Structure 1
Amino acid sequence: MKYTKNILGTMLLTAVVTASCVDDKPLAFEVEKPASIAGMEYLNDYDVLKNYVSSSANPDFKLGIALAASDYIAGGQVTQLANSNFVEMTAGNAMKYASCVNDAGEMNFDAVENFVTAAKAGGLTIYGHTLAWHSQQRPKYLNKLIAPIPLPIDPNAKNSFIEYNTNGAGENIWDKQATYMLPVALEQGVNYTFKVDIKASEEFEGLEFWPIWSASPNKDQWGGSKDVQYLGAKGAIGTDWATYEWNFTTQFTLDKLQIVFGKFGGKVYFDNLVLVKDGADDNLIDNGDFAEETTNGWGNNWNGPSFQIVSEGNDNAGFCLKMTNNEKKNNNWDSQVWYQFDKPLTEGNSYTFTAKVKATDSYNCTIFMQSSTGGAQGYPGGFNIGTEWTDVSFTFTPEHNQVDKFTFNFGDFVGTIYVDNVIFSDGTSDMYVSNFENQSIEGWISWNGYQALSAEGEGYSSNQTSIELTPQEKKEVLTAAMNNWIEGMMKATDGYVTTWDVVNEAISGGGDDGEGFYTLQSASNASADDAKNNFYWQDYLGNEDYVRIVVAAARKYYAENGGTAPLKLFINDYNLESDWDDNKKVRSLVHWIKKWEADNVTKIDGIGTQMHVSCYANEATQKSKEEHVVKMFEILAESGKLVKISELDMGYVDENGNNVKTENMTEAQHKAMAEYYKFIVKKYFEIIPAAQQYGITQWCITDAPSDSGWRGGEPVGLWDSNYSRKHTYAGFADGLAGK
C-alpha cells in the first residue's frame, strides 16, 4: 500500500530483523498495519473538494477558503491546497479597516494589492471581508474626527498654574528644582512624551528635565539615586507661555519628575503638564492643568525654592447664558428671551436686575415687562451692551399685578449677547441668583431664537475651550471618512473583487427594536471594554442610514474604479443558526434588511451566515442544533436573497460541555464531526434554491495551533496541522456531492 503525505505525512516503515544466537539464521516477521492508519486510507480515494460540487447547484456557486493573505502570497503548501481545492478566497484580516488604516488615518493597501495580484495568478476570485464593521477599527482616529472643536481661549478667563520662586540663583543647575512624584512609576525600556507650558519672571537659559528613580537602591554618597536620566535643555525660557517637549525611552524605572533651573534667580511657572506612554492617551500626571488648585504631588529639593498655586485672569468668564440671533428682523421684539418668575411681581414695587453682559457687537437692548396670561405689558427701558464684560444694573416697577416675565428684546440685532452673574432683587432679598456654573437655565425661555449652555451642552461660554459637534455634524464627518475608506479599498482591488461583506455583524443579539426584533450593535449595549475598543459607526450614522451609506459608497466607488461585473453585497452575521433563541437573530437580520431597503434605493444582494459551530456529544443537544440549522436555511431561503455559508468551522463539545482539544480527540469524535459537516452542507443544497446558492467558505484550512487567537487548539480544519486530510474532509466532500 502506498502511504502519502495527504493522509499521514511522511512515514518511515522499518523492517525489523532479529538474528538467532543458536543457528545464526534470520527470523523474519511482519508488522501488522495499525488500525488508525488503515482507517484513514479511504481518504486517498477522494478527489479535490471543488470537484464534488453537485451538478444541480447554481453554476456560479463558489467554494471558498479563508486564509491569511500573507500565507497565500507566500506560495507554499497553503497556496497549493487553496488553488487545487477551492475557487474563491476570503482574507482573514488583510482587507479589514484596522489592517489598512493607522491611528493617524493614513491608509496603506499594499497587502491588499499583493493579495489581488496573487489571486489573479492563481485563478481564484476574492470575497471581500469586510467594508464596514464595529470591530477592528481605529477608535483613536475616528473619535478624534468627531472630537469637540477647540475654541479661542478668552484672554480674560481665569487660569491657575504652579509658581516656583528660587529666592536667588544658585551656583549649580541642580541647586533649585521643581519635583513631582508620579502616582504610578514609569516602566523601564518604554517610550514616553512629556509636554509642559513654561514661562518665567524674566528670560533665562538653563532649564533641564531629569526624571529619576527616587526609590532605587542604587544611591550615591549624598543619598540620591544614581538612576537619573539627564534629558537636557530646550533653549531660552521667556516671559510668555511656550510649550516644551521631551521624547525619551526610560533607562530605569522612573517615579519622580525633576525640572532643574538652579542658576536662575527669579520665578518659574509651569502649566498644562502632560506625560503619556507611546500608543496611549492617559495623562500620567494628575491635575496637570491645575484646575484643582492643589499642589498634591509637587515638591522641591534641599535648597527649597518655594512653590504655590497662582492664577491670572478673572472669574467672570464662567458658564453663561448665550442669546443668539442669526437674522435681523423687522422689530426688536421679534426675538425675545425672558425670565419667568415663579409668581407675578407686586404692582408698584421696585425691583432690580443686575448682571454682567457683553455682545459680539455693541447694542442697546430693550427690556419688556410682560404677563404669561397676556394683557399686562410695560416698556421700562433698556441698557447698552458693549463687546467687553460690563456690569449693568436696571431698576423697574411693574405697572400691572400680572407681570411675571422680564424680557430681553433683540430682534433687530445680529449676533450673540452673553449674560452672567444675574441677580433679581426686590430690595429686601434676592429672588433669583445665577452664574450658570451648574449649567442650569431653569426659568429662562426663548421665543424666536436663543441658545444657552444647558446640562445637555447647548451653546458655550466665553471660557469654554471647545464646542461639541452636533449629531448631524458628526454624521457628516464620519460619512466622509467611510466614503474615503471604501474609495481607497475599491481603488486597491481595481474591480477584481466583485462580492463583499458590505456590513459585518450588525445585529446585537439582544434588546427590542420596538417591533419585536433585536436591535443593532451599539456602544450602549456593549461591554465597557467593547465600547472602548470598538467603534460603532451606526451610533452616529443612524440605524437605517448606516447600511445605506455603506452600500451607496460601495456601488459608487466600485463602478468608478474598474468594476464592470455585477457587484454583490452581503450582510454577514453569526449565531443565525442559534437554538437558544429559536433563530430570532436570523429573523431579526431579515427584518432589518427590509428596513434598509425600504428607501427603494438600497439593495442588499445576499446574507452570509458564519456558522462557527460545534458538534455535541449530547444527542439531545446535537439534535436541537441540527433542527435550528434547518430552520435557519428555511428562513434564509424565504428571504429571496443569495445565501452564503461564509465562515464555516467546527469544534467538538463532550458530554460534560467541555470543548475538546485536537490532541484529545478520538476517532469516533472526528467521525461525528464529519457527519455534522455532511449534514450542514447537504441541507444547504437541499433547502436553499439553486438560484440563491452563492457558495460555502470553510474558515479554517487546518486545525488551530494551541496559541491561536481563534479557537486555539481545536480541531477546526479539514486538514490537520501537517496538511493531511481528516475525516471532516470526507464529510465536507460528501455533503457537496449530496451523498
Structure 2
Amino acid sequence: MKYNKILPAIALSCMLFTSCDDNLMDWGKDPDHGDITSAELPLELAEKISRYEPLKTYTDFKLGSGIDLNLYMNDAVYQSLVNENFDEVTLGYDMKHGPMVAANGDLKFDKIDAFIAKTKEAGLSVFGHTLVWHQNQNASYLNSLIAATIIPGSSGPSSLDLTALKAGALTGWSAWNAGAGITVVDGAGLVSGTKAVKLISSASSSSPYQLQLITPLIPIVSGHKYEISFFIKSDQTGQGRVAFDAVPALTNSYPQKDWYGTGAAKSSFFATNSSWQQVKFTLDGADFVAGSTNFKFNFDLGSLPNVTYYVDVNTIAAVDLDAVQTVTNLITNGNFESGALSPWSGYGNNSTRAISASGAGHSGNYAMVLMNPAAANNYEAQQVFSLSTPLEINKEYTCTFWVKSDVPAALQFELQGANYNADYSGTFNVTTSWTQVVKKITTTKGDRAKFIFDFGATAATFTIDDIVLTDGSTTGGGAGTPAVTIEKTDAEKATLIGGAMENWISKMVGHYKNDIHAWDVVNEPMKEGGSLRDGVVNNPAADEFYWVKYLGKDYAVTAFKLARQYGNATDKLFINDYNLEASLAKCDGLIEYVKYIESKGATVDGIGTQMHITLSTNKDQIAQMFQKLGASGKLIKVSELDIALGTKSPTLEQLANQSAMYQYVIDSYRQYIPKAQQYGITIWGVSDNVEEHKNWLTDQAPNVWDAEYKRKHAYKGVADGLAGKDVSKEFTGDIIIP
C-alpha cells in the first residue's frame, strides 16, 4: 500500500479555515530523498478533525443533543449526524405543554409518537423535556380554567327566536360559508351545562365572511333602537365582527362603522381569547333602511385560520330598547278585563264570587267580587289561582293588588303547596276605600303552586283588582342589569390548576412510560438571586403560565410526586435551571430548593445546569458551580450546553477559543462531578445552520458543526474533553489514497 500525497487533506484544511500555510509542500516522491514515510507527513488541523471518531465514542456517560424535531425527521444529513454522534436526544420545543396540550386539555401524541419510533430505530434514548415550566405553555387553556364566571346582564327580552339553538339544532339559521364546521354543543356555554354554538375557521380562512353564521329574521318596529349582544370566546386569539344580511334592512350591511371600543381604538372588529366576553352595540333609527320590518345579523368569524369560537346560546339577543317595559305577572288573569273569573275558583263558608259590574274596577271596567256571609276564620272561605308551574324555592316574590270592602275587614293570602303547607302573607286590614296592598313573601319549599286569598274571617264583601305576583322579571326593553363577574377563590384556582397539572403529567409520563426514562420535571424555578419564582410578572407573554402562583412553593413537590407515580420507579427525574455558573447564589438556591422538595416526601434524582455561555463566561465560577453541584450528591447533567460567539462569521481565533471553552467545561465536569454522579452532557443544537437558529441564538455560531454541517474546531475540543486527552496525538498521519 503506497502513501504518495496529501492534497485532499490540505484542501479540506483550506476550505475550513479560509487560508493555507504557503510553506506546505505539494507532497510527492522526491527522487533525492527516497520514499516518503508516514512519520514525515505534516498533519494539519482540518485533517486531524476529519479523523476523529463520532463524539459518543469518547465517553461512557450519556452524550446528548438538543435537537429540532422537523429537521431530525426530514433532513437526512442532520439525522445522520445526530444518530452517529449522540446517545440521547432532547427536543427543544415539541414535548412541552404548549405544543402538546389541546384547547380542551387533551394531549396530541401523534407527532411525538412518530419521533419516538424513529429514534428507537437509531438506538437513541429520548430525554423528556419538560413537564412543568412557566414558558411554552398552553396558557390560554390554563387561564380559561381559572377565568372568572361572568353572568350576563339583560337589557330586556330578545326579539330573536333561540328555540332551535336551545334544542341543539340550527334550524332557521344559515351559513354562507361554514368554515371547518358549525355545530351546537352541550356543556360549552357560559354557565356550566349550557349550550354554545361552536364555529371553527378553516386552515385557509383569511376573510371575515369565510366563517359566517346568519340569524333568522328579527322583527323590528320603525324608529326603535335595537341592542345586539352575545358572549363569545375562542381557543386562541381570534377576531370577529357582526355584519348584516341584505334584507334590505341596514344602510351598511357589511359595516365599516366602528361598533366596538372607544376613542381611537374603535373598530368594526372585536378580538376574542380564551375568556368569555360580551359583545354589545346598538342600532339606531339611522342604521335602518326606511320602511324595514325585519333584519338579520351575521357572526363573521373567518378573519384568522384554525380558530375555534364558542358563542353562548342563552346570551344571543336582539333587544328592542324602546319596547314598553312591563313586569312579568304570574297571575294571568289579574285585571279581569275579559269579564270572566277563569281560571280563578273558590269554595267555603257558603261564600260567593263574581265579576263586578262594568265600571266598578279600580283601573278598568271589571274587578273580582268575593262575598263571605258570616264571620268564621280566614281559611273557611278561599279564592284560588293555580300557577302554571311551582314557584322557585327560597326566592322572594312580590304581590300587589288593589282592594276594598263594604265594611272594615281582615284578609290574607298564601302560597300553598302539597298537603296544604303554605307560606303566608299574614293578616292585614281592609277599608271601604280602594287601597293598594304590597307584600313580599319568600318561598320555603319548591312545591308552591297555588295563590290563595283567605277571606273567611269577616262577614264582608271584598272587591279586588289588578293582582300581580312577580319575581321581579320584566318584559320589554329599557335599561337592564350589567354583567356580573364572579372571581374564583384562591382555593378554587389551586384545585383547578392542580387538576390540570395531574392531567398533563399523568397523560404525558404515562403515555411514554415504556419509551422515556429520564425527565426534566421542573424547569427554571429560581430567580437570579437564588429565591424561588413567585409568578408575579408584569405583562406575561401569551405562552407564559406560572404554576407556582396558584400552587405555591410545593408546586414542584407535587410535580415530582406525580412524575414518579405515573412513571417508573427507576426513572431519573431532574430539576433544571440556567445561569448557575453566572450566579452562584442561584446555584445555592436551587440546591436548597431540592432539599426542600425532598423534605416534603418527593425524590429528586438529578440537577441540570443549562450552560448557555459565551467566551467571556468566568471559568472560575464554572469550576465553583460544578463543585457545589457535585457536593449535592445528586446526578448532575449539563443539560443545554452551547457557546455563543456573537457573530455568524467567526475568526480562526474565535473558533479556537470556542473549542477551548467547550473542552474546559467538559474537563471541569469530569474533574468536579464524581463519576457516580455523572449523568451526562447534552450539547444544545447540532449546527450553526440557520434552520436551527430561527428562535435561538440567531447569528451566534454556537454549535459544533457549521452551517454546512461540517465539523468546526469545537468538534476537537468536545472530543478531547470527553476523552480526557488530545486524541489527535495518537494519529499516525497516514492517508490512504486508493
TM-score, normalised by the number of residues in structure 1:
0.55
Report the 3-state secondary structure (helix = DSSP H, G, I; strand = E; otherwise coil) of the residue aligned with 2:516: coil
Distance (Å, rounded) in 1 between the aligned partners of 2:501 and 2:679 = 27
Supply the AA of the counterpart residue of 2:144: K
Supply the AA of the counterpart residue of 1:631: Q
Gaps (5+ residues) in structure 2?
Answer: 1-5, 18-42, 161-176, 184-207, 221-225, 234-238, 251-258, 262-266, 295-318, 328-390, 397-412, 417-424, 426-443, 447-480, 726-738
- Specify which of 519, 536, 550 is matched with residue 546 of structure 2: 536
- Specify which of 666, 680, 683 is matched with residue 651 of structure 2: 666
Report the 3-state secondary structure (helix = DSSP H, G, I; strand = E; otherwise coil) of the residue aligned with 2:216: coil
Distance (Å, rounded) in 2 between the aligned partners of 1:70 and 1:102 = 20
The residue number in structure 1 matching 2:215 is 234
Supply the AA of the counterpart residue of 1:500: W
The residue number in structure 2 matching 1:626 is 619
Asked whether the 8 Å contact 2:689–2:709 carries over to 1, the reply is: no
Distance (Å, rounded) in 2 between the aligned partners of 1:232 and 1:695 = 57
- Specify which of 639, 661, 678 is matched with residue 676 of structure 1: 661
Q: CA deviation at 1:520?
A: 1.2
The residue number in structure 2 matching 1:649 is 642
Q: CA deviation at 1:697?
A: 0.4
Question: CA offsets, 1:209-231, max 9 Å, x none?
Answer: xxxxxxxxxxxxxxxxxx99997
Question: CA offsets, 1:163-202, max 9 Å, x none?
Answer: 9xxxxxxxxxxxxxxxxxxxxxxxxx9x99999xxxxxxx
The residue number in structure 2 matching 1:479 is 498
Asked whether the 8 Å contact 1:608–1:644 carries over to 2, the reply is: yes
Distance (Å, rounded) in 2 between the aligned partners of 1:468 and 1:194 = 30
The residue number in structure 2 matching 1:573 is 577
Question: CA offsets, 1:670-706, max 9 Å, x none?
Answer: 1011111111110111111111111000001101418
1:718 aligns with 2:701: no
The residue number in structure 2 matching 1:556 is 565
The residue number in structure 1 matching 2:273 is 281
User: Aligned in 2, Cα 1:141/1:386: closer, same or farther, shift over 3 Å?
Assistant: farther
1:727 aligns with 2:719: no
The residue number in structure 1 matching 2:55 is 49
The residue number in structure 2 matching 1:127 is 127
Asked whether the 8 Å contact 1:704–1:713 carries over to 2, the reply is: no
- Specify which of 520, 531, 535 is matched with residue 518 of structure 1: 531
Distance (Å, rounded) in 2 between the aligned partners of 1:609 and 1:119 = 25
Report the 3-state secondary structure (helix = DSSP H, G, I; strand = E; otherwise coil) of the residue aligned with 1:635: helix
- Specify which of 504, 507, 510 is matched with residue 526 of structure 2: 507
Asked whether the 8 Å contact 2:13–2:44 carries over to 1, the reply is: no
Report the 3-state secondary structure (helix = DSSP H, G, I; strand = E; otherwise coil) of the residue aligned with 1:136: coil
User: Aligned in 2, Cα 1:538/1:193: closer, same or farther, shift over 3 Å?
Assistant: farther
User: Aligned in 2, Cα 1:48/1:541: closer, same or farther, shift over 3 Å?
Assistant: same
The residue number in structure 2 matching 1:65 is 65
Distance (Å, rounded) in 2 between the aligned partners of 1:70 and 1:50 = 23
The residue number in structure 2 matching 1:408 is none
Q: What does 1:604-619 align with in structure 2 at a 5 Å threshold?
A: 604-616=604-616
Q: CA deviation at 1:615?
A: 0.7
Q: CA deviation at 1:310?
A: 4.8
The residue number in structure 2 matching 1:489 is 508
Distance (Å, rounded) in 1 between the aligned partners of 2:270 and 2:521 = 33
The residue number in structure 2 matching 1:595 is 596
User: Aligned in 2, Cα 1:106/1:276: closer, same or farther, shift over 3 Å?
Assistant: farther
Asked whether the 8 Å contact 1:615–1:672 carries over to 2, the reply is: yes
User: Aligned in 2, Cα 1:141/1:279: closer, same or farther, shift over 3 Å?
Assistant: farther
Asked whether the 8 Å contact 1:158–1:312 carries over to 2, the reply is: no
Supply the AA of the counterpart residue of 1:573: D
The residue number in structure 1 matching 2:144 is 144
Supply the AA of the counterpart residue of 1:67: I
Gaps (5+ residues) in structure 1?
Answer: 12-36, 54-58, 164-188, 196-226, 248-252, 265-271, 316-357, 364-383, 393-412, 416-461, 511-516, 617-621, 653-658
Report the 3-state secondary structure (helix = DSSP H, G, I; strand = E; otherwise coil) of the residue aligned with 1:89: strand
The residue number in structure 2 matching 1:208 is none
Q: What does 1:120-519 align with in structure 2 at a 5 Å threshold?
A: 120-149=120-149, 234-237=215-218, 257-258=243-244, 260-262=246-248, 280-281=272-273, 288-289=279-280, 299-300=287-288, 309-310=321-322, 361=394, 465-509=484-528, 517-519=530-532
Question: CA offsets, 1:254-278, max 9 Å, x none?
Answer: 99944555479xxxxxxx9999989
User: Aligned in 2, Cα 1:281/1:8: closer, same or farther, shift over 3 Å?
Assistant: farther
Supply the AA of the counterpart residue of 1:595: Y
Distance (Å, rounded) in 1 between the aligned partners of 2:496 and 2:486 = 15
Q: CA deviation at 1:733?
A: 1.2
Supply the AA of the counterpart residue of 1:596: I
Question: CA offsets, 1:21-71, max 9 Å, x none?
Answer: xxxxxxxxxxxxxxxx95422212322211222xxxxx5x21111112333
Distance (Å, rounded) in 2 between the aligned partners of 1:730 and 1:145 = 51
- Specify which of 665, 671, 686 is matched with residue 701 of structure 1: 686
Q: CA deviation at 1:73?
A: 3.3
The residue number in structure 2 matching 1:378 is none
Report the 3-state secondary structure (helix = DSSP H, G, I; strand = E; otherwise coil) of the residue aligned with 2:573: strand
Supply the AA of the counterpart residue of 2:681: I
The residue number in structure 2 matching 1:448 is none
Q: CA deviation at 1:246?
A: 13
Asked whether the 8 Å contact 1:127–1:500 carries over to 2, the reply is: yes
Of 297-306 and 480-489, deviating more is 297-306
Taking only the aligned residue pairs, the percentage that are identical comes to 30
Q: CA deviation at 1:627?
A: 1.4
Report the 3-state secondary structure (helix = DSSP H, G, I; strand = E; otherwise coil) of the residue aligned with 2:706: coil
Question: CA offsets, 1:474-532, max 9 Å, x none?
Answer: 2222222222222222243242211100011111325xxxxxx423151x13x4143x4
Q: CA deviation at 1:99?
A: 1.7
Report the 3-state secondary structure (helix = DSSP H, G, I; strand = E; otherwise coil) of the residue aligned with 2:686: coil
Alignment coverage as a number of residue pairs: 476
Q: CA deviation at 1:414?
A: 12
User: Aligned in 2, Cα 1:10/1:612: closer, same or farther, shift over 3 Å?
Assistant: closer
The residue number in structure 2 matching 1:349 is none
Supply the AA of the counterpart residue of 2:531: Y
User: Aligned in 2, Cα 1:85/1:289: closer, same or farther, shift over 3 Å?
Assistant: same
User: Aligned in 2, Cα 1:595/1:231: closer, same or farther, shift over 3 Å?
Assistant: closer
Distance (Å, rounded) in 1 between the aligned partners of 2:623 and 2:284 = 65
Supply the AA of the counterpart residue of 1:44: S
Report the 3-state secondary structure (helix = DSSP H, G, I; strand = E; otherwise coil) of the residue aligned with 2:131: strand
User: Aligned in 2, Cα 1:705/1:300: closer, same or farther, shift over 3 Å?
Assistant: same
User: Aligned in 2, Cα 1:667/1:279: closer, same or farther, shift over 3 Å?
Assistant: farther
Supply the AA of the counterpart residue of 1:689: P
The residue number in structure 2 matching 1:638 is 631
Question: CA offsets, 1:360-394, max 9 Å, x none?
Answer: 6379xxxxxxxxxxxxxxxxxxxx9999xxxx9xx
User: Aligned in 2, Cα 1:90/1:242: closer, same or farther, shift over 3 Å?
Assistant: same
Distance (Å, rounded) in 2 between the aligned partners of 1:246 and 1:477 = 22
Distance (Å, rounded) in 1 between the aligned partners of 2:503 and 2:275 = 31
Report the 3-state secondary structure (helix = DSSP H, G, I; strand = E; otherwise coil) of the residue aligned with 1:130: coil
Structure with larger Rg? 2
The residue number in structure 2 matching 1:86 is 86
Distance (Å, rounded) in 2 between the aligned partners of 1:735 and 1:98 = 36
Question: CA offsets, 1:133-154, max 9 Å, x none?
Answer: 1111111111111223455x79
Q: CA deviation at 1:104?
A: 3.5
Instruction: Report the RMSD for the aligned CA atoms in angstroms.
Output: 5.2
Question: CA offsets, 1:400-420, max 9 Å, x none?
Answer: xxxxxxxxxxxxx999xxxxx
Asked whether the 8 Å contact 1:148–1:469 carries over to 2, the reply is: yes
User: Aligned in 2, Cα 1:736/1:464: closer, same or farther, shift over 3 Å?
Assistant: same
